[in-house]
A and B are shown apart, each in its own frame.
Chain A
Amino acid sequence: KAGVTQTPRYLIKTRGQQVTLSCSPISGHRSVSWYQQTPGQGLQFLFEYFSETQRNKGNFPGRFSGRQFSNSRSEMNVSTLELGDSALYLCASSLRPGQQETQYFGPGTRLLVL
Protein backbone atom coordinates (compact mmCIF):
# COMPACT_ATOMS: atom_id res chain seq x y z
CA LYS A 1 0.00 0.00 0.00
CA ALA A 2 1.42 3.39 -0.97
CA GLY A 3 2.28 5.71 1.89
CA VAL A 4 1.52 9.37 2.38
CA THR A 5 3.00 11.42 -0.43
CA GLN A 6 3.87 15.09 -0.33
CA THR A 7 4.82 17.41 -3.13
CA PRO A 8 7.06 19.18 -3.67
CA ARG A 9 9.79 17.78 -1.43
CA TYR A 10 11.87 20.95 -1.44
CA LEU A 11 10.95 24.54 -2.08
CA ILE A 12 12.75 27.87 -1.99
CA LYS A 13 10.72 31.05 -1.83
CA THR A 14 11.36 34.68 -0.97
CA ARG A 15 9.68 36.79 1.68
CA GLY A 16 6.24 38.02 0.71
CA GLN A 17 5.54 35.20 -1.71
CA GLN A 18 2.94 32.54 -1.15
CA VAL A 19 3.28 28.77 -1.36
CA THR A 20 0.96 25.79 -1.78
CA LEU A 21 1.92 22.33 -0.54
CA SER A 22 0.13 19.14 -1.47
CA CYS A 23 -0.55 15.92 0.41
CA SER A 24 -2.04 12.64 -0.80
CA PRO A 25 -3.12 10.40 2.10
CA ILE A 26 -2.96 6.64 2.30
CA SER A 27 -5.82 5.06 0.41
CA GLY A 28 -8.84 4.79 2.71
CA HIS A 29 -7.58 7.42 5.14
CA ARG A 30 -9.98 10.31 5.37
CA SER A 31 -8.34 12.47 8.01
CA VAL A 32 -5.37 14.64 7.08
CA SER A 33 -3.33 16.70 9.53
CA TRP A 34 -0.59 19.21 8.85
CA TYR A 35 2.37 19.98 11.08
CA GLN A 36 5.27 22.38 11.06
CA GLN A 37 8.63 21.14 12.35
CA THR A 38 11.49 23.48 13.25
CA PRO A 39 14.61 22.95 15.37
CA GLY A 40 13.48 25.57 17.84
CA GLN A 41 9.81 24.76 18.29
CA GLY A 42 9.75 21.09 17.35
CA LEU A 43 6.68 19.54 15.78
CA GLN A 44 3.63 21.77 16.00
CA PHE A 45 0.09 21.03 14.88
CA LEU A 46 -1.29 23.30 12.17
CA PHE A 47 -4.73 21.91 11.33
CA GLU A 48 -6.72 18.78 10.65
CA TYR A 49 -9.24 18.07 7.90
CA PHE A 50 -11.90 15.41 7.67
CA SER A 51 -14.62 15.12 5.07
CA GLU A 52 -13.47 18.37 3.48
CA THR A 53 -13.99 20.26 6.76
CA GLN A 54 -11.41 21.72 9.09
CA ARG A 55 -11.93 20.07 12.46
CA ASN A 56 -9.07 21.50 14.48
CA LYS A 57 -6.64 24.34 14.16
CA GLY A 58 -3.39 24.98 15.96
CA ASN A 59 -2.08 28.31 17.16
CA PHE A 60 -0.86 29.71 13.85
CA PRO A 61 -1.71 33.01 12.13
CA GLY A 62 -4.34 33.24 9.44
CA ARG A 63 -1.62 33.28 6.77
CA PHE A 64 -1.68 29.50 7.15
CA SER A 65 -4.68 27.88 5.55
CA GLY A 66 -5.66 24.59 4.07
CA ARG A 67 -8.35 22.63 2.38
CA GLN A 68 -9.31 19.06 1.65
CA PHE A 69 -10.83 17.68 -1.50
CA SER A 70 -13.48 15.02 -1.92
CA ASN A 71 -10.81 12.38 -2.61
CA SER A 72 -9.22 13.26 0.78
CA ARG A 73 -6.19 14.89 -0.81
CA SER A 74 -5.23 18.07 0.98
CA GLU A 75 -3.38 21.27 0.31
CA MET A 76 -1.99 23.88 2.63
CA ASN A 77 -1.22 27.44 1.70
CA VAL A 78 1.02 29.98 3.35
CA SER A 79 0.62 33.57 2.18
CA THR A 80 2.99 36.48 2.65
CA LEU A 81 5.88 34.25 3.59
CA GLU A 82 8.21 35.26 6.43
CA LEU A 83 11.73 34.08 7.16
CA GLY A 84 10.40 32.26 10.21
CA ASP A 85 8.19 30.09 8.01
CA SER A 86 11.26 28.14 6.93
CA ALA A 87 10.55 24.66 8.21
CA LEU A 88 9.72 21.08 7.38
CA TYR A 89 5.99 20.80 6.73
CA LEU A 90 4.64 17.36 7.44
CA CYS A 91 1.34 15.86 6.45
CA ALA A 92 -0.12 12.88 8.27
CA SER A 93 -3.16 10.79 7.44
CA SER A 94 -5.31 8.52 9.58
CA LEU A 95 -8.50 6.54 9.11
CA ARG A 96 -10.55 8.90 11.25
CA PRO A 97 -9.90 11.98 13.38
CA GLY A 98 -8.32 11.26 16.72
CA GLN A 99 -7.08 7.83 15.68
CA GLN A 100 -3.41 8.52 16.23
CA GLU A 101 -2.71 4.81 16.30
CA THR A 102 -3.49 4.70 12.59
CA GLN A 103 -1.63 7.91 11.76
CA TYR A 104 1.16 7.82 9.19
CA PHE A 105 3.38 10.74 8.23
CA GLY A 106 4.64 11.70 4.83
CA PRO A 107 8.29 12.59 4.17
CA GLY A 108 7.57 16.29 4.40
CA THR A 109 8.17 19.37 2.29
CA ARG A 110 11.22 21.37 3.27
CA LEU A 111 10.52 25.06 2.73
CA LEU A 112 13.26 27.66 2.77
CA VAL A 113 12.26 31.31 2.78
CA LEU A 114 14.95 33.77 1.75
Chain B
Amino acid sequence: QKEVEQDPGPLSVPEGAIVSLNCTYSNSAFQYFMWYRQYSRKGPELLMYTYSSGNKEDGRFTAQVDKSSKYISLFIRDSQPSDSATYLCALSRDDKIIFGKGTRLHILP
Protein backbone atom coordinates (compact mmCIF):
# COMPACT_ATOMS: atom_id res chain seq x y z
CA GLN B 1 0.00 0.00 0.00
CA LYS B 2 1.40 3.40 -0.97
CA GLU B 3 1.98 5.89 1.82
CA VAL B 4 -0.09 8.56 0.08
CA GLU B 5 -2.59 8.26 -2.74
CA GLN B 6 -3.87 11.10 -4.88
CA ASP B 7 -6.05 10.90 -7.97
CA PRO B 8 -4.03 12.32 -10.88
CA GLY B 9 -7.07 13.67 -12.71
CA PRO B 10 -7.36 15.65 -14.84
CA LEU B 11 -10.27 17.32 -13.14
CA SER B 12 -12.19 19.85 -15.22
CA VAL B 13 -14.75 22.14 -13.62
CA PRO B 14 -16.53 25.32 -14.77
CA GLU B 15 -15.42 28.69 -13.46
CA GLY B 16 -17.10 29.58 -10.18
CA ALA B 17 -17.58 25.98 -9.06
CA ILE B 18 -16.33 24.54 -5.78
CA VAL B 19 -13.38 22.24 -6.30
CA SER B 20 -12.60 19.33 -4.00
CA LEU B 21 -9.16 17.72 -4.08
CA ASN B 22 -8.28 14.76 -1.89
CA CYS B 23 -5.51 12.51 -0.63
CA THR B 24 -5.54 9.41 1.50
CA TYR B 25 -2.61 8.14 3.50
CA SER B 26 -1.73 4.96 5.33
CA ASN B 27 0.65 5.93 8.13
CA SER B 28 -0.98 7.51 11.16
CA ALA B 29 2.42 8.89 12.26
CA PHE B 30 2.18 11.79 9.83
CA GLN B 31 1.93 15.02 11.79
CA TYR B 32 1.92 17.85 9.27
CA PHE B 33 -0.23 18.22 6.18
CA MET B 34 0.35 20.54 3.27
CA TRP B 35 -1.06 21.45 -0.10
CA TYR B 36 1.10 22.81 -2.88
CA ARG B 37 0.12 24.36 -6.19
CA GLN B 38 2.37 23.89 -9.21
CA TYR B 39 1.95 25.79 -12.43
CA SER B 40 3.46 24.45 -15.62
CA ARG B 41 7.23 24.97 -15.77
CA LYS B 42 7.31 26.28 -12.20
CA GLY B 43 8.25 24.86 -8.82
CA PRO B 44 5.56 23.94 -6.27
CA GLU B 45 4.21 26.76 -4.11
CA LEU B 46 2.95 26.13 -0.59
CA LEU B 47 -0.75 26.94 -0.30
CA MET B 48 -1.83 25.49 3.02
CA TYR B 49 -0.06 24.04 6.05
CA THR B 50 -1.79 22.42 8.99
CA TYR B 51 -0.99 19.99 11.77
CA SER B 52 -4.30 19.19 13.36
CA SER B 53 -7.57 17.59 12.42
CA GLY B 54 -10.26 20.00 11.33
CA ASN B 55 -10.47 22.87 8.89
CA LYS B 56 -8.12 25.71 8.08
CA GLU B 57 -9.30 28.51 5.84
CA ASP B 58 -7.29 31.03 3.83
CA GLY B 59 -9.28 33.15 1.44
CA ARG B 60 -10.93 30.90 -1.14
CA PHE B 61 -8.98 27.87 0.08
CA THR B 62 -9.94 25.49 2.88
CA ALA B 63 -7.77 22.58 4.00
CA GLN B 64 -9.46 19.77 5.86
CA VAL B 65 -7.73 17.01 7.77
CA ASP B 66 -9.43 13.89 9.14
CA LYS B 67 -6.76 11.92 10.99
CA SER B 68 -9.16 9.17 12.04
CA SER B 69 -9.91 8.41 8.38
CA LYS B 70 -6.40 9.32 7.16
CA TYR B 71 -7.95 11.65 4.63
CA ILE B 72 -7.06 15.21 3.68
CA SER B 73 -8.87 17.59 1.37
CA LEU B 74 -8.42 20.97 -0.24
CA PHE B 75 -11.50 22.95 -1.22
CA ILE B 76 -11.36 25.89 -3.62
CA ARG B 77 -14.39 28.18 -3.64
CA ASP B 78 -15.35 30.42 -6.54
CA SER B 79 -12.76 28.74 -8.75
CA GLN B 80 -10.98 30.90 -11.31
CA PRO B 81 -9.15 30.03 -14.54
CA SER B 82 -5.96 31.12 -12.75
CA ASP B 83 -6.48 28.18 -10.37
CA SER B 84 -5.70 25.80 -13.24
CA ALA B 85 -2.59 23.98 -12.07
CA THR B 86 -1.43 20.74 -10.51
CA TYR B 87 -2.16 20.41 -6.81
CA LEU B 88 0.04 18.20 -4.66
CA CYS B 89 -0.67 17.06 -1.16
CA ALA B 90 2.29 16.48 1.14
CA LEU B 91 2.60 14.85 4.53
CA SER B 92 5.49 14.94 6.93
CA ARG B 93 6.62 13.30 10.13
CA ASP B 94 9.87 13.91 11.93
CA ASP B 95 12.02 15.11 9.05
CA LYS B 96 10.47 12.93 6.39
CA ILE B 97 8.14 14.40 3.76
CA ILE B 98 6.06 12.46 1.25
CA PHE B 99 4.24 14.00 -1.70
CA GLY B 100 1.20 12.81 -3.57
CA LYS B 101 1.63 12.58 -7.33
CA GLY B 102 -0.62 15.58 -7.85
CA THR B 103 -4.03 16.26 -9.37
CA ARG B 104 -4.21 18.29 -12.57
CA LEU B 105 -7.03 20.81 -12.33
CA HIS B 106 -8.55 22.71 -15.25
CA ILE B 107 -10.98 25.55 -14.61
CA LEU B 108 -13.06 26.15 -17.71
CA PRO B 109 -13.96 29.83 -18.41
Do A and B come together as binding partners? Answer: yes
In the complex, B99 has a CB within 8 A of chain A: yes
In the complex, B60 has a CB within 8 A of chain A: no
Kindly list chain B residues whose C-beta atoms are within 8 Å of the C-beta of A26. none
Of the four ranges (under 10, 10 to 19, 20 to 34, 35 or more), the interface on chain A belongs to 20 to 34
Count chain B CB atoms within 10 A of each CB in A56, A97, A101 and give the residue with the most: A101
Partner pick for A105 among B32, B43, B95, CB 8 A cutoff: B43
Are B34 and A100 within 8 A (Cβ)? yes
A104 to B94, CA, bound (A): 19
In the complex, A55 has a CB within 8 A of chain B: yes
- Tell me how far the C-beta of A109 lies from the nearest C-beta in chain B, rounded to whole angstroms: 10
- Tell me how far the C-beta of B81 lies from the nearest C-beta in chain A, rounded to whole angstroms: 22
A107 to B44, CA, bound (A): 8
In the complex, A45 has a CB within 8 A of chain B: yes
- Tell me how far the C-beta of B106 lies from the nearest C-beta in chain A, rounded to whole angstroms: 17
Per the 8 Å Cβ criterion, residues 32-67 of A in contact with B are 41-45, 48, 55-56
A55-B95 contact given A42-B101, A100-B90, A107-B41, CB 8 Å threshold: yes
In the complex, B92 has a CB within 8 A of chain A: yes
Known: A45-B96, A101-B46. 11 other contacts (CB 8 A): A43-B44, A43-B99, A45-B98, A90-B44, A97-B95, A98-B92, A100-B32, A100-B46, A101-B49, A105-B43, A108-B43
Query: Which residues of B pack against A, CB within 8 Å?
Result: 32, 34, 41-46, 49, 88, 90, 92, 94-102
